[in-house]
Structure 1
Amino acid sequence: MPMSRATGVDIITGEGLAEALTGVDVIIDVASWHASEQEAATEFFRTSARNLHEYGQKAGVAQISMASIIGVDKATAGFVAAKKVHEDLLLSGPLPVRILRAAQFHEFVGQLLDWRQGDVAYLPALPTQLVACRTVAEELVGLALGPAPGRPIPEIAGPRKESLAEAAALLGARRGIKVVGVDGSGMPDAEIAAEGGFLPSPHAKLAGPTFQEWLDIQP
């Protein structure tokens, strides 16, 4: 069953969590903080990890599977660095944990455009390998229900390397928004990103659709 504040379950306060986990074998953790500020995101993940382990162990849960981000082991600042702490916190708890690291979602591009100020969106021209959220969800369920993976940590990414700004320009053209690519200066770990630090590793699974294919079927 899905768990969120909308269904009366809060993994931070613990409200409704014990009841929601009754009879559950596997927790799939895709909860996330809503902003990029590192300290606040880290505190969110610290609390959520503690509660999932505590309530999950009491409920007899066998395992936690979580969605993470490709390149977290290289991050030094911002949300991605907080996500690495999230991995470490979950792995240090009493329940077994499986991790799937994913590239940025196709859906993230639209969020970037929504966050713009004015009629022009200035977005980083950084390399990425965008993947559909549904593709990640299917892979995460497979990870949760399948045999335990070995090392390294599994990764899932889209089939095509592209620039984040270029992908945004495709969506912007449909929305009547001009997109201007910038070098990403001022962003956490922009230099690491520019050098491909957040692109999938050679062992990653690559799966479609491409961003253009995904965009073509959007309403």
Structure 2
Amino acid sequence: MSKFAVAGATGRLGRHVVDVLTERGHHVVPMSRATGVDVVTGEGLAQALAGAEGIIDVASWHGSEQEAATEFFRVSARNLHEASRQAGVARITAASIIGADKATAGFLAAKKVHEELLLAGPLPVRLLRAAQFHEFVGQLLDWQQSDVVHLPALPTQLVACRTVAEELVDLAVAHQDPGPPIPEIAGPRKEIMADAARLLAARRGIEVVGVDGSGMPDAEIAAAGAFLPSPHAKLTGPTFVEWLDAQEG
């Protein structure tokens, strides 16, 4: 089996990537500040990448500010490419977000820059664009910290983190590059974000009010479906309700 370094290993998606790799018998090097590896300062990168066949990059910025997120992705992409080149790593496989290529503002626009910088680097890069995670719904409720939460009534196709992690590992270990178009993964059904959040909120005793998304980055094109999966996307469960029931099982 192969050795993989996982950037962002302790994050929401990274934890699942580490689990999937481990379950499949691969040697995993978790990379995060908690493990002494910093993709921004470069601390610990050389040691972590020694002998690694590939990197799976799921490191992300903790906020939604476009400028700060863009700077994080700019520096991390440069450092991962340089350290990987010196270590003899074969390729980088990275997670992105469906619709990032269409974004003009906000966090998604920062991910667009991230994609471009990764693809422009010296190492081969494979990207997987994913829909918003099931887990993101609870985060939206947490951010407002209120008994009445206002969320956008915008279309989405939520997918489970574990499902994305499995697809990302499949992509990382595949012998053949998928080539264009960039692969996508999303959940099995189109949903409205506010409606999905209402299901979770009801279990928490919280009220969700759907709003039109005015003032949000790219709300108009989001409402038109710009961030929904393309026809070539892989659609797979569980649905949000199935996932929610499993969390409480």
Q: State the TM-score, normalized to the length of structure 2.
A: 0.87
The corresponding residue for 1:186 is 215
Find the residue that maps to 1:118 and give its secondary structure.
coil
For 1:31, the aligned partner's letter is A
Picking from 233, 236, 239, the partner of 1:204 is 233
Q: Do residues 142 (structure 1) and 170 (structure 2) align?
A: yes
Find the residue that maps to 2:137 and give its secondary structure.
helix
Any gaps of 5 or more consecutive residues in structure 2? Answer: 1-28
The corresponding residue for 2:58 is 30
**Cα offsets for 1:100-159 (capped at 9, x unmatched):** 000000000000000014211100000000000000000000001112102110000000
Find the residue that maps to 1:217 and give its secondary structure.
helix
Picking from 86, 96, 99, the partner of 1:68 is 96
The corresponding residue for 2:149 is 121
The corresponding residue for 2:206 is 177
Aligned residues: 219
For 1:114, the aligned partner's letter is D
Find the residue that maps to 2:136 and give its secondary structure.
helix
Picking from 43, 66, 87, the partner of 1:15 is 43
For 2:92, the aligned partner's letter is I
Find the residue that maps to 1:115 and give its secondary structure.
helix
> 1: distance between equivalents of 2:199 and 2:100?
27
For 2:190, the aligned partner's letter is K
> 1: distance between equivalents of 2:231 and 2:59?
27
Identical residues among aligned pairs (%): 80
The corresponding residue for 2:185 is 156
The corresponding residue for 1:43 is 71
For 1:88, the aligned partner's letter is E
Picking from 95, 106, 110, the partner of 2:138 is 110
**Cα offsets for 1:6-33 (capped at 9, x unmatched):** 1111000111111111111110000001
> 1: distance between equivalents of 2:239 and 2:30?
28
**Cα offsets for 1:73-112 (capped at 9, x unmatched):** 1100000011010000011110000000000000000000
RMSD: 0.7
> 1: distance between equivalents of 2:39 and 2:145?
32
> 2: distance between equivalents of 1:174 and 1:26?
41
Q: Do residues 98 (structure 1) and 102 (structure 2) align?
A: no
> 2: distance between equivalents of 1:4 and 1:210?
30
Which segments of structure 1 move beyond 4 Å, counting only runs of 4 or more?
none
